């Protein structure tokens, strides 16, 4: 048997599984299903339905069955159409690495490679999106402020906490010289078993790093960035009024 080829397709499979971070529905394909799915995906690509093609390619990856050698190229092309440029480049590079000049779609792959240059550079230059080209959104909790006043985490916004010295009982035990257990009122909580929260001082509010965004002020989104800042809402309302005259 030609084991290098087997190893190659195994390596590709592992790589594709690794890349596929999007959780998909549980699909149990039948035997030999990957070539059928691949044909279906190609048909959807010809129809221009790249969303459907994308889903089919992801099913191929998640099937854990051997992946047709030309599949990474077609998947890269589909991802390019869906503007998922970073992921497209990943699959394209893997395709070229594994198939080299022998790939059926080598010429097309090189053409796609140069088509990817511009959008990838735009992503790199843009401050509004992450390195994969997905738009940052302003944190909905702190609205970009990074530090905020939020519910005290230590006391869960109750303002009081159970005493840890007496474990909430209000009493501590001591053995005297006759080895007899004596009970004393807890000096930390004055016998109450609980005391004012030491973090918020009973205010129930704690100011500090926003827990939603970890103090970054923005969050990742699944929206592909157009590398243009949003028009402020009040301005666009003004423009709309101007237009209506």
Nearer to Zn ion by C-beta: 53 or 186?
186
Closer of 104 and 230 to Zn ion (Cβ): 230
Position 16 contacts Zn ion (CB under 5 A): no
- The whole-angstrom separation of Cα 216 and Cα 142 is 10
DSSP element (H, E) containing 181: strand 181-185
Report strand pairing: 147-151 vs 205-209.
Answer: antiparallel
What's the CA dihedral at 72, 89, 225, 229 to 10 degrees? Answer: -170
Residue 65 binding Zn ion, by CB under 5 A? no
60 lies in the binding site for Zn ion (CB under 5 A): no
From residue 41, give the alpha-carbon distance in Å to each of 36, 74, 77, 105: 9, 9, 12, 16
The single residue among 12, 16, 61, 200 that binds Zn ion, judged by CB under 5 A, is 200
- H or E element at residue 14: helix 3-19
Instruction: Give the integer Cα–Cα distance in Å for 45 and 147.
Output: 47
- Site map for Zn ion, 137-166, x if CB under 5 A? --x-xx---------x-xx-------x-xx
Q: Quick one: which segment of 86-94, 106-114, 190-198, 233-241 binds Zn ion (CB under 5 A)?
A: 190-198
Among 128, 138, 160, 224, binds Zn ion (CB under 5 A): 128
* Smaller CB separation from Zn ion, 44 or 206: 206
- Contact set with Zn ion (CB under 5 A): 126, 128-129, 139, 141-142, 152, 154-155, 163, 165-166, 186, 188-189, 197, 199-200, 210, 212-213, 225, 227
């Amino acid at each position: 048997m030609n084991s290098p080829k087997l190893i190659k397709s195994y390596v590709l499979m592992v790589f594709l599984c690794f890349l596929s971070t999007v959780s998909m529905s549980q699909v149990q394909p039948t035997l030999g299903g990957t070539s059928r799915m691949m044909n279906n995906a190609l048909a959807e690509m010809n129809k221009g339905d790249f969303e459907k093609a994308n889903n089919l390619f992801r099913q191929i990856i998640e099937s854990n069955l051997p992946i047709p050698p030309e599949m990474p190229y077609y998947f890269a092309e589909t991802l390019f159409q869906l503007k998922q440029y970073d992921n497209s480049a990943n699959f394209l590079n893997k395709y070229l690495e594994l198939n080299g000049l022998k790939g059926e779609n080598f010429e097309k792959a090189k053409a796609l490679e140069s088509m990817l240059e511009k959008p990838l550079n735009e992503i790199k230059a843009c401050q509004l999106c992450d390195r994969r080209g997905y738009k940052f959104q302003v944190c909905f909790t702190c609205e970009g402020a990074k530090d905020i006043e939020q519910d005290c985490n230590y006391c869960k916004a109750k303002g009081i906490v159970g005493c840890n010295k007496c474990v909430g009982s209000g009493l501590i035990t001591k053995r005297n010289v006759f080895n007899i257990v004596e009970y004393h009122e807890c000096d930390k909580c004055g016998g109450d078993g609980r005391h004012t929260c030491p973090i918020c001082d009973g205010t129930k509010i704690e100011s500090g790093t926003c827990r939603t965004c970890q103090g970054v002020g923005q969050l990742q989104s699944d929206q592909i960035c157009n590398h243009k800042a949003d028009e402020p809402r009040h301005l666009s309302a003004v423009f709309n009024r101007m237009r209506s005259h």
